[in-house]
Amino acid sequence: MKQPANEPTRRGAGLAGRLLLAQTLVLVAGTLTAWLIAANVGPSLFHTHLASANVGATAAQILHTEKAYQSANAISLSLALLAALVAALGVSVYQTRRIGRSVATIADAASNVAGGHYDIRVPGPGLGPEFDALASAFNQMADRLGSVERTRRRLLADLGHEMRTPVATLEAYLEALEDGVATLDAGTAELLRSQTRRLARLSEDISTVSRAEEGQVRLDTVTVQPELVVAAATNAAAEAYEAKGVRLISDIATGLPELSLDPERIGQVLGNLLDNALRHTPAAGTVTVSAAISRTRGVALSVADTGDGIPAEHLPHVFERFYRVDTARDRTHGGSGIGLAIAKALVEAHGGQLTVTSPGTGQGSTFLILLPHR
């Protein structure tokens, strides 16, 4: 059922009215309490003081003095309480209206966000740190939702593009086989297998990164020397690097502490980073894999290349699924756009951190893995 457009405003006004009513009741209760206490306690105290001071020669004089006190006390107390009540009500009205407007603003903004307008922002109402924190948290939520929505749209578009090529190739060759235009020879069979493997790899990558980001990936941790994991990854990538003419250098520090990790998963991370570096490093370039003791008493693994580099505005997004710094260029290089997202999720599953730095376009990039010492 569609909600009326002005419903958030009504909720805000209702809250302000309830706050004003509550504060009014408190003020009235305080006024009545002050009046009752003054009316019951004041005369008896005044009579006691008159008796102690021996004021008044006759009972009539004492009675007249007490009535004069009661009259003066009633008038002055009434005026004072009335003035205080009016002033307090004025402050309450002002404050509740500000609170009501602030709540209504946030409610309207929330309604806009619910309608898909993630660019909406609310200003700090200036009603104290709690309301400012609420406004800041709302703005952060809207910004995050906008980022998620943009990523979702890009993911669906890129996923469709990634699947379109192998599906179209399979469909074309199957039609050609049915029409007798092509024969199922070894070359055709290998091409069909390569396209199905591409789809299977895409499906597996999406499943892996989803499980890792949700904390459901299984880690078979053992105590291992980090240099052995690095050596295994570089040895596995050596042939591809040699074929392209890119130098692969290992720089392993001595005395590295043993780490508790899943060698296969960290090997997968290094493999993804090495594959990414190879795609973006031209022939005669260099990729350096380093391992050293980090400041956090863990181990820092890095993969640095002399390749394309990454512009500063793209650095915060390189670990997002299907994100591409240069769409046309990266599709030419053949990356699926999921490898770095998988690498980051697997490193974080180990309690580590994966970051990237780059001086800029054409100046290479460095991916740094920080693994804690356990």
In the chain, what are the domain boundaries? 7-117, 150-213, 222-371
Burial class (CB in 10 A: 0-12, 13-18, 19+), 183: exposed
Q: What is the mean pLDDT of residues 268-294?
A: 93
**Alpha carbon distance 345, 286 (integer Å):** 26
H-helix or E-strand containing 286?
A: strand 286-293
H-helix or E-strand containing 300?
A: strand 299-305
pLDDT of residue 305: 96
**Percentage with pLDDT > 90 across the chain:** 26
Q: Quick one: residue 255, left, alpha or beta (phi over 0 = left, psi -120 to 50 = alpha)?
A: left
Q: Does residue 229 sit in helix, strand or coil?
A: helix
**Alpha carbon distance 126, 220 (integer Å):** 52
The token pair at 287 is 């990729």
> Where residue 8 falls among pLDDT bands split at 50, 70, 90?
very low
Q: Does residue 321 sit in helix, strand or coil?
A: coil
Q: Does residue 357 sit in helix, strand or coil?
A: strand
**Alpha carbon distance 92, 97 (integer Å):** 8
> Where residue 274 falls among pLDDT bands split at 50, 70, 90?
very high
> Where residue 334 falls among pLDDT bands split at 50, 70, 90?
very low
Nearest residue to 96 via CA among 10, 12, 11: 12
- Cα 220 from chain centroid (whole Å): 29
Nearest residue to 27 via CA among 87, 111, 74: 87
Is residue 216 pLDDT above 80, yes or no? no
Q: What is the mean pLDDT of residues 357-368?
A: 93
For the chain, the straight-line distance linking the first and the last C-alpha, in angstroms and rounded, comes to 54
**Alpha carbon distance 268, 250 (integer Å):** 17
Q: What is the mean pLDDT of residues 288-307?
A: 91
More confident residue, 274 or 186: 274
Burial class (CB in 10 A: 0-12, 13-18, 19+), 84: middle
Q: Lowest-pLDDT range, 34-38, 139-143, 285-289, 346-350?
A: 34-38
**Alpha carbon distance 61, 17 (integer Å):** 52
Give the C-alpha distances (Å, rounded to integers) separating 7 from 108, 141, 209: 9, 22, 41
Q: What is the mean pLDDT of residues 144-170?
A: 73
DSSP characters over 118-168? TT-------S-HHHHHHHHHHHHHHHHHHHHHHHHHHHHHHHHHHHHHHHH
The token pair at 5 is 């457009």
- Classify domain 222-371 at the CATH topology level: Heat Shock Protein 90 (3.30.565)
**Alpha carbon distance 103, 18 (integer Å):** 13
**Alpha carbon distance 231, 250 (integer Å):** 8
Burial class (CB in 10 A: 0-12, 13-18, 19+), 185: exposed
pLDDT of residue 16: 58
Q: What is the mean pLDDT of residues 288-298?
A: 87
